[in-house]
Amino acid sequence: MTKKKLPTFIREIQEYTPAEMNYAFEKSISYSQVSMFHKCQHQWQLLYKEGYNKKVPTSSIHTCFGTAMHEAIQHYLQVMYDTSAAEADRQDIEAIFKATFIKEYKRIIEKEFDGQHFSSADEMREFYEDGVAILEWFKKKRGSYFSKRNNILVGIELPIHIKPSFAHKNLYYRGFLDLVLYNTNTEKYTIYDIKTSTRGWNDYTKKDELKTAQLLLYKKYFAEQFNVDIKDINVEFFIVKRKVPEDAEYAVMERRVQEFKPTHGKNKVNQASKLVEEFISEAFNYDGSYKDKQYFKNPSKFNCTFCAVKEFCEEGKQLVESL
Q: In the predicted model, what is the mean pLDDT of residues 232-247?
A: 95
CA distances from 123 to 42, 60, 137, 263, 279 (A): 32, 12, 21, 36, 37
Which letter does DSSP use for residue 168 in this model? P
Q: Over 50: is that where the pLDDT of 3 sits?
A: no
Which letter does DSSP use for residue 199 in this model? S
Q: Over 70: is that where the pLDDT of 19 sits?
A: yes
Q: Over 80: is that where the pLDDT of 134 sits?
A: yes
Which letter does DSSP use for residue 2 in this model? -
Q: In the predicted model, what is the mean pLDDT of residues 87-108?
A: 98
Q: Over 90: is that where the pLDDT of 4 sits?
A: no
Place 2 in a pLDDT band, splitting at 50, 70 and 90. very low
**Three-state SS for 57?**
coil
Q: Over 90: is that where the pLDDT of 249 sits?
A: no
Report angle CA 47, 53, 58 to the nearest 5 degrees: 110
Domains contained in the chain, CATH given: 53-148 (no CATH), 149-290 (3.90.320.10)
Q: How many CB atoms lie within 10 A of CB 276?
A: 23
Cα-Cα-Cα-Cα torsion 95, 96, 102, 106, nearest 10 degrees, comes to 150
Lowest mean pLDDT among 1-15, 76-90, 275-289, 290-304: 1-15
Report angle CA 176, 181, 178 to the nearest 5 degrees: 25
pTM for the full model? 0.95
Which letter does DSSP use for residue 290 in this model? B
Q: How many CB atoms lie within 10 A of CB 79?
A: 18
Place 167 in a pLDDT band, splitting at 50, 70 and 90. low
